[in-house]
Amino acid sequence: MRIDRTAAASRPVRTAAAGIALASASALALTACSGGSSAGAGFSDELDPDEEISLSLAWWGDDDRANKYEEAVAGFEKQHPNISVDTSWIAYPDYWPARNTEAASGSLPDVMQMDLSYLRQYGGTGQLADLSAAFDTTLDVSGLDEQLLTAGAIDGAQYGIPTSTNTLALFYNADVLDEIGVEPPAEGYTWDDYAAFVDEVEKAGAGQDPAIYGTADYTGTFWFFCQWLIQQGVEPFTDDGGLGFTQDQMAEFLELGSDARDSGVFYPIEKTKQIEPLGGFTVSEAASEMSWDNFLAGYVAETGQDIRMLPMPAGDNGPQMFWKPSMLLSASAGTEHPAAAAALIDYLINDPEVGTIFGTSKGNPAVAAQRDAMDVEPGSVDEKVVTFEEDVAGLVTEPAPIPVEGFGAIEAEYKRLGEELAYGNIGVDEFVTQWFAFAESNVGQS
């Protein structure tokens, strides 16, 4: 390319330029190809121990998770010398474009980690195998709670097996709060109490260098909105895959943060954008943050400080939390080795060794045998998560909302508009109008 450019610098410029212009213009056109895959048969077959099989396995996560998966896979390969597993992994946001492209060309990995947000997208469009066919042969799901297992099914077809559960929590940095002399929210605190806490931290922490904030704008996260809706007695999604809430309800939730937004009490969005993928909480400049409880290990590792957990803020009937089935495992409908794929899933959800390897890094293991196999050392991160989940078990009163098709897109749009809101480019009303307009064309089968 550079040689071309230099060589073409004199008379033949015109033709060369035209050629390059044409080539560049045509290279711009995006490519896409289509393809489908037939529904996976053979999941009820027994595994043939002599057949040489190569399986592909994909997950999202960081390198810590990658090491754990590699260790688990090595155990599986040892148990099944005839099967070799090719692994691939990538961060969550990049995981989906990659899978989406593979789905379009019918080349999904044999086994892949699946999120509830995308289960309908993939399961509902015939990309994933119904694993229930393997329940009597290679895949043992007897260790899973019935309700949890059902969360991985759509219309009776088992498209994913949850490997763990998560619930939402409020994390706070006890060291930082000590330093500025603010008490954490008390048990049974409400959304209003939390807003007051955030206010108090901002006032107390303003003199610090760098300034300490209470939290970043929490109204810009879709899952927190879902949690709040449940507390209002609203099912976020209807049984037929539509939205169960109104524009007014969304506006009401966003208004929870309006005062703090207007007076600059939240951790500034300008700062958040600069340190992404970290956040104010991970750099110890915000004293609290809501998130999934399996984030504890990451927070402790990043901050090196005393991070503790509380249940979510309460509504009129308490926090009304839910277990979100997470890190599902699915098999591609087009896999050539259904029995082996099912066996790999079986190993990953049931084997006690795998439970020891992952601990609570993916959430609390779904199967008791794996929970019991964890090395829960007193004072360890695993212990904190397990204790938290035991403590809040009584507060977890609701079933997890089953995300609609297109959930991933509407969740991302909610986050994007939350950013615009935080920058003050739009108001709550515009947020709601724009989000609903987007949801209308992205939810369910278009």
Partner 1 sequence: MSAATAAAPARAAARPEPRRSGARRRADVAAGYTFLSPWLLGFVLLTAGPMLASLYLAFTDYDLFRPPTWIGLDNFTAMFSDARYLKSAQVTSLYVFIGTPVKLASALAVAMLLNMKFSGQGGYRSAFYVPSLVGASVSVAIVWKAMFIDDGVVDRIQQTVGAPAGGWVGNPDMTIPMMILLAVWQFGAPMVIFLAGLKQIPAELYEAASMDGAGPLRKFWNITLPMLSPVLFFNLLLETIHSFQVFASAFIISGGTGGPADSTNFYTLYLYTKGFVQFDMGYASAMAWVLVLVVGVITALMFRTSRAWVHYSGEEN
Report the residue number, 11 or 78, with the smaller CB distance to partner 1: 11
Binding residue for partner 1, selected from 54, 67, 93, 255, defined by CB under 8 A: 93
Give the separation between CA 388 and CA 307, rounded to whole angstroms. Answer: 12
Report the residue number, 22 or 206, with the smaller CB distance to partner 1: 22
Give the separation between CA 265 and CA 198, rounded to whole angstroms. Answer: 7
Q: Which amino acid is at 445?
A: Q
Does residue 423 interact with partner 1 by CB under 8 A?
Answer: yes
Q: Which amino acid is at 425?
A: N
Q: Give the 3-state secondary structure of residue 392.
A: helix
Give the distance, in angstroms, between the CA of residue 73 and the centroid of all CA atoms in the same chain. Answer: 22
Furthest CA-CA distance within the chain: 81
Does residue 420 interact with partner 1 by CB under 8 A?
Answer: yes
Binding residue for partner 1, selected from 199, 308, 442, 444, defined by CB under 8 A: 442
Report the residue number, 275 or 368, with the smaller CB distance to partner 1: 275
DSSP code of residue 242: S
348 contacts: CB under 8 Å, gap ≥ 6: 72, 76, 163, 329, 354
Least separation in angstroms between residue 444's CB and partner 1 is: 11
Residues 260-319 that bind partner 1 (CB under 8 A): 268-277
Window contacting partner 1 (CB under 8 A); options: 24-32, 65-73, 222-230, 250-258: 24-32
Q: How many residues bind partner 1 (CB under 8 A)?
A: 67
Calculate the alpha carbon distances from 22 to 19, 29, 31, 132 in Å: 5, 11, 17, 53
Window contacting partner 1 (CB under 8 A); options: 19-27, 147-155, 197-205, 243-251: 19-27
Does residue 30 interact with partner 1 by CB under 8 A?
Answer: yes
Residues 153-182 that bind partner 1 (CB under 8 A): none
Give the separation between CA 136 and CA 395, rounded to whole angstroms. Answer: 35
Respond yes or no on whether the N-terminal peptide bond of residue 12 is cis (omega within 30° of 0).
no
**Residues lying near partner 1 in the complex (CB under 8 A):** 1-2, 4-6, 8-11, 13-14, 16-34, 36, 93-94, 96-97, 100-101, 103-104, 121-122, 125-127, 268-277, 406, 408-409, 412, 416, 419-420, 423, 425, 434, 442, 445-446
